[in-house]
Amino acid sequence: MKTLPMAEVTKALGSSSDGLTQAEAAKRLEQYGPNEIVEHKTNPLLKLLSYFWGPIPWMIEVAVVLSGAVGHWPDFFIILVLLVANALVGFTEERQAGNAIDALKAKLAINARVRRDGEWVTPAARELVPGDVIRLRLGDIVPADARLLDGDEIAVDQSALTGESLPTTCTAGDAVFSGSVIRRGEIGALVYATGTHTYFGKTAELVQDAHTVSHFQKAVLKIGNYLILLAVALVTFIVVVSVLRGDAVLTTLQFALVLTVAAIPVAMPTVLSVTMAVGARLLAKKQAIVSKLVAIEELAGVDTLCADKTGTLTQNSLTLGDPFSVADVTAADVILAGALASRADNDDPIDLAVLGGFGDATALQAYKVTHFEPFDPVHKRTEATVTDTDGSTFTVTKGAPQVILSLAGDAAASKAAVDTAVNDFATRGFRSLGVARAEGEGGEWRFLGVLPLFDPPRDDAASTLATAKAMGVSVKMVTGDAIAIAKETAAKVGLGTNILDAAGLGDVKKKESAAVAESIESADGFAQVFPEHKYHIVDVLQQRGHIVGMTGDGVNDAPALKKADCGIAVSSATDAARSAAAIVLLTPGLSVIIDAIKESRKIFQRMNSYAMYRIAETLRVLLFMSVAILVFNFYPVTAIMIVMLALLNDGAILSIAYDNVRYKMQPEAWNMRLVLGISTVLGVVGPIAAFGLFYLGDRVFDLGHPRLQTMMYLMLSVAGHLTIFLTRTRGPFWSIRPARILLLAVLGTQAIATLIAVYGLFMTPLGWQWAGFVWGYAIICALASDRVKLLADRVLDRTKDDADASVDTTSTENQPAKSSAATKVAATTGRAAFYTDTDPGDAVYHDNDDCPYGKEIKNHHNDHPGTAHRRRCDWCAQHDQAATVRR
C-alpha cells in the first residue's frame, strides 16, 4: 500500500475521493477494530495476586507461616485475613484511580476530519478505517497511515518515528505515517492502515508500558527506604538481644517480622496513586486536564510562567480597524485583497477577523480562489490565486508587514510610510497585517497597505496577574507581535513594560552570557518570538534555577512544552501541542492556569502531610517497642495487635487524599528540613507519652501484663490517628477544618479499635472504663504534642536559610501601604526577592494589621538588623489573608 500506484490503492481499498459511506465505515470498524494501539492492561486477577508478591507481602506471609509453626492459630488466621484485606484495599483503590485517569484522558481524544457520505465530519480518530478520506492541516498529528491525494506539497515532521529532526517534504501519492506531524501545508489523504497495522504500531506497543516517576515520588520513596532501613536496624537489634536472653527463637522472629511490617509504609504506593488521581479529578473541574500525573507536583513548584499573549492575556477575539493604504489604493481594495487571502473554514482568528471586517460575503462570490496556501510559522503569510469575473488571474497575500514588504517590488517607495503606520498602530495596541497583490501568475508584488487588528485584553487578566504575583509566580508574556504592541498590552494588563526583543537573543542554541541570562530572568515579557526562542527562554530560566511553566498552542511550540517543567497546552492548541504538554486547558485565559496552580499546591500539601504522618508514626511505634523490649524486657503489644494497628492506620490515611488544605502563597518545594524535623519531634514525643501511660497501668493501677498490652494497643491506635490531625496543619490542629471523609475515617477506625480492645477480640478485654481513660489520656497528650509541634515549627522555620524562605517575586508596585515603613527596596538575588529598609526595625510590611505576630516579628527584626529573612505567617493563612510577612 505504501508503493502501489494510487489508482490501485484506491481500488484495493474499495474507496474513492468522496470517501466511504457511514454504513461501510461501521462495517470496516468491526472488521479492522479501532484505530488505536491496544494498551497492555494487566489481567485483574494477576494484578490482585501481585499484591501478595514482593518484599513486604513476603514478610507478612513468613509471619503467617511462623504463627502456624509455633501453634499461634489466632495470630495465624487474623494475620492471613489482614493480608488479604490489605491486598483488596490496595487493588480496589488503585483500580479506581486508574479508571479515573482513563476517563480524563478520554477527554483529550484526537478527532479527525473525515469525508463520510460526501460530507466532512469530525469523529474520534479511533473510528478511522482503511479507505477513509481525511484532511490534514498544519499542526495535525497524522491519525493513521495514509497516501496523499492531489494538492500542494506539505512538510511532515517524522522525528517521532525516524529520529530525523528536519521535516520531510511530501507530495501527492507519498505515504505519511501515524504519529507524524504536519509542519506546513494542507492536503487530503487516503487511509490504508490503522491501529497496530500502522508503520509505528508495532514499535509503540513495545514502549507503551514505560512509566515516569516524578521528583516528589522519588523523594517520598526515599523516605520509605529510610524508614525500612531504620526498622530493619532496630528490629535486628531487638532480635539479637532477645536471642541472647534466651527467648523462643520462632516467637521472637515472628514478632520481629510483624513489627517490621508495621513500620514499613505499606500504604505508600496506594496513597500516592489515590492522591494523584483525586487531584487530577479536581483539576479537571478547574478545566485543566492532566495528561501526565507527574505534572501535578511540577505545577505546584512553578515560580515562573511564560504565557502566550493571544488568548491567554487577551480575548483572542480580533476586530478589524481602519486600514492604512499606500498611494492611490483605497481602503476597500486593501480589505478586499486581505479577505481573498483568507479562508473561513480554517477557523483562524485572523482570517475570520479580516472576513468579518469585509462584511459583504456575497461580494466575494464573484471571485474564484483556485489555489490557497494557508499560514505557516516559517513564512508568516497566506497566499491565494484568484480568478476575477472577467477571467483574469491575480494573486494576493497577507502576513507580517516586514515579510510582505520584502516581497514587494515597490517596497522602497512605501517602506517609510508603512513603518510609520505600523508603529502608530502598535502604540495603540493594534496588530498589523501587510497586504500585497500581483497581477497574473508570477507577477511582481505590489504593496497595498496595512490592516490593523485589535485583540482587547481579557477582563480578568489584570486581577489574575495580581493573584499570580501574590502567589509568588512571575508571569512573563510571550508574543510574536512587535515590541510596541507587547508593551501596550503589558501595560493594560498590569505587567511591567520591560519587554525584550527575542530577535536580539542571538543564536538560540548557544549558552548565553551572565548579563543576557539575567536580562531574560528580569524581563516582563518577550516580543517577536519565534518557536525556537521559546525553547531557549525556558532553557535559560531553568539554568537560573527556576521551575518554569510554558503555555503553547502551535505545532512548533511542542519542543518548548516538552522542555518546560510543566508544559501547558491552551484551549485552542493543535494536536501536536496537546500531545507534548503535561496539562491541557479546556477554556481560554490565564485564570484557569492560576486555579490549576492553586489546586496542585493543595495536592502537594496533602502529600506533605502524609509524609510527615508516616515518618512520625513509624518512629513512634519503633521507638516505643524497642525501648520497652530492651529496657523492660516486656513485649507491650502482641504480634496480632501490631498487624491490626497497621491495617487500621493505613485504611484511614487513604482519606487524606480528600482532605481540606490551604494552598501556600509561594511555590512549593520539598523542604526536607521541616518535614523530617517536625515528624521526628512528634515521633519522639509520642513514645514519651506512651511510656507515661505504661507506667500508670503497670506501677500505679497494676493492671497486669495482658490487660496492659490491650491498653497500650488502644493508646498506640488512638494516638496514632490523632497524629494525622497534627501533621495536616502548620498552625494549631484546629486552624483548618478536616474534611468530613477524613474525620469519618478516623472516627470509624478508632471505633473499631476501641470495640476490639473493650471486648477483647484476640486480646484480653479492657472494659469501657479503662478505654475512656485511654482516650482522655491520648487527647491530652495530643493537645500537648500540638504545642510542641508549633514550637518546633517556629524554631525550624527561623533557622532556615534565606534560600529556603518564602519567596515573593512581586514588585513593589501596587502594594497596599499598611505599614508605616514607606521605603521598601526590592533587592533581587537569584529566585528570591527580599524587602529591606534603612531602619530594619521599622521595615515590617504586614498583610493584616490585626495579626498578633506583627509585634513579635518586629522585635525579632530589631535583634537581627539588616537581615532579609522571612517566614510563613500562620495567622494570616488561617484568616484567609496573604500568607507572607515581608521585612
Question: What are the grid coordinates assigned to 438, written together?
Answer: 500581483
Question: What are the grid coordinates assigned to 195, written together?
Answer: 491501529
Full DSSP string of 575-611: HHHHHH-SEEESS-SSHHHHHHHHHHHHHHHHHHHHH
Provide the strand spans (E) within 424-529: 430-439, 445-454, 474-478, 499-501, 525-527
**152: exposed, middle or buried (Cβ count in 10 Å: 0-12, 13-18, 19+):** middle
Number of other CB atoms surrounding residue 404 within 10 Å: 25
Q: Which residues pair with 438 in a beta bridge?
A: 395, 445
Which helix (H) or strand (E) element contains residue 560?
Answer: helix 558-563
Give φ, ψ of 168 to 5 degrees.
Answer: -100, 135
- Residue pointed to by grid coordinates 495487635: 641
Contact residues for 142 (Cβ-Cβ < 8 A; gap 6+): 136, 156, 176, 177, 178, 179, 180, 181, 182, 189
Radius of gyration of the CA atoms of the chain, in A:
34
Question: Taking a C-beta distance cutoff of 8 angstroms, is the pair 181, 152 a contact?
Answer: no
Which helix (H) or strand (E) element contains residue 200?
Answer: none
What is the C-alpha separation between 859 and 864, in angstroms, rounded?
9
* DSSP category for residue 20: B
Q: Give me the catalytic one of 308, 481, 565, 650.
A: 308
Which of 32, 109, 355, 56 is closest to 227 using CA atoms?
56
Which of 236, 231, 257 is closest to 70 using CA atoms?
257
Question: Taking a C-beta distance cutoff of 8 angstroms, is the pair 340, 315 a contact?
Answer: no
Helices (H), 453-513: 461-470, 483-493
Is 308 annotated in the active site? yes
Amino acid at 101: I
Question: Taking a C-beta distance cutoff of 8 angstroms, is the pair 488, 313 a contact?
Answer: no
Q: Hey, which residues are catalytic here? A: 308
